[in-house]
Amino acid sequence: MRLGIFARTFSRPTVEGVFDAVREHQLDCVQFNMACAGLPTLPDDIAPSLAIRIHEASMSRGTEIAAVSGTYNMAHPDPEARQAGLRRLRTLASACHGMGTPVITLCTGTRDPENMWRWHPENVSSQAWSDLLSSMEAVLRIAEEEQVTLAFEPERANVVNTAAKGHALLAAMQSSRLKVVIDPANLIVPGDEHQMSQVLDEAFDLLGEYIVIAHAKDRGADDTFQTAGGGILDYDQYVRLLRAAAFDGPFILHGLTEEEIDAALQFLCDKLQRR
């Protein structure tokens, strides 16, 4: 597995400075965000020269851009908001070749109109599911045109809030361009260790063959997100399941500050018995 990090963990005035910081921590890859180039995550426009500059900055430092964040609310209750997100995703997808990245990460969205990471009771409605399927069909057409892979992340606050729903989405789409970002901290619920173990087993049973990126963060006993190693997630089981699934891709740290990187990285290296 290649150890990496969310590029936007580093606040620097230039993309070159961001990749310098990544290399200082001896990380192999990043999940990039256009915010690192001074733009919104999904910009209205990306100059070809900027895409090339990002690619050159990463390559000259030996850092792979494993994926770029393309999250927008794919289940937003307002169709116009969904269409705006789709237009901007097309802009990002058309820049991926120039940036040298083959994967765009997605959020399956929520009915909350203000925060795509906040749960809404209507997320379980048939209309929310239908809107998500329509959005996914549209982004997959773009993925085919631009020759990129899309990877969604099951998340308790979103429409795809379980591994089972993730599997149902994959079955509905039947596309080789749709894959999975796995982050067990987004799926577990504190309070029952046996139940948490079952959640991990189910996630890999249903989604293991589709995983292209693994995220490394944690969840506290108080149900807040924590730095990897600082919560209740059983990383021994997580790593064991990744290996059983023959996953050898990017293992991406996120949800942490720069000051927390070294400790979290050492934690992961110990679990992977590296360095």
Architecture per CATH, 2-272: Alpha-Beta Barrel (3.20)
Provide the token pair at 93.
């997808």
List pLDDT tens digits, range 209-229.
Answer: 999 999 999 999 999 999 999
List pLDDT tens digits, range 63-122.
Answer: 999 999 999 999 999 999 999 999 999 999 999 999 999 999 999 999 999 999 999 999
pTM of the model: 0.96
Strands (E), 15-122: 29-32, 64-69, 103-106
Provide the token pair at 149.
């892979």
The predicted model gives 194-207 an average pLDDT of 95
Please name the amino acid found at residue 160: V
Per-residue confidence (pLDDT) for residue 274, from 0 to 100: 58
Q: pLDDT class for 192, splitting at 50, 70, 90?
A: confident
CA distances from 92 to 29, 38, 85, 96 (A): 19, 14, 11, 6
Q: pLDDT class for 191, splitting at 50, 70, 90?
A: confident
Helix (H) or strand (E) holding 56: helix 48-59
Per-residue confidence (pLDDT) for residue 161, from 0 to 100: 97
What number of CA atoms fall less than 13 Å from residue 101's CA on the CB side?
34
For residue 178, which of 202, 205, 200, 148 has the smallest C-alpha distance? 148
CA distances from 98 to 14, 17, 52, 223, 255 (A): 18, 19, 5, 39, 28
Asked if the model's pLDDT at residue 275 lies above 50, the reply is no
Alpha-carbon distance 166 to 232, whole Å? 23
The predicted model gives 23-32 an average pLDDT of 96
Q: pLDDT class for 267, splitting at 50, 70, 90?
A: very high
